[in-house]
């Protein structure tokens, strides 16, 4: 059963707002980790950022579409 969200009379798939929320959450986490200097100890920061975004995007998707 597909789930849709209606926002300002625009019908969109549920994954689009989840993507936007995950993107905002990723920006906040990235800023916090860079402020505390965590990226100095991470081997590949770009790979870590992508993996973190994938996790923050897929967990809500699995919860909603379970």
Note whether 15 and 64 are within 8 A (CB): no
pTM greater than 0.85:
no
Is residue 61 included in any domain, yes or no? Answer: yes
| Sole residue written with tokens 């770009």 | 46
| Sole residue written with tokens 């936007």 | 20
Alpha-helix residue ranges (DSSP H) falling in the chain = 15-35, 45-64
In total, how many domains does the chain have? 1
Question: Domain range for residue 51?
Answer: 20-65
- Tally the C-alpha atoms within 13 A of residue 19's C-alpha that lie toward its C-beta: 6
Is residue 57 included in any domain, yes or no? Answer: yes
Is residue 46 included in any domain, yes or no? Answer: yes
Is residue 4 included in any domain, yes or no? Answer: no
pLDDT at 2: 64
Is residue 44 included in any domain, yes or no? Answer: yes
pLDDT in tens, the chain (66 residues): 567 878 888 888 888 889 999 999 999 999 999 999 999 999 999 999 999 999 999 999 899 888
């Amino acid at each position: 059963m597909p789930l849709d969200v209606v926002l300002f009379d625009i019908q969109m798939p549920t994954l689009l707002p989840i993507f936007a929320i995950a993107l905002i959450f990723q920006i906040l986490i990235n800023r916090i980790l860079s402020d505390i200097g965590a990226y100095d100890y991470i081997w590949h920061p770009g790979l870590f950022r992508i993996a973190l975004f994938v996790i923050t995007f897929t967990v809500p998707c699995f919860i909603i579409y379970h």
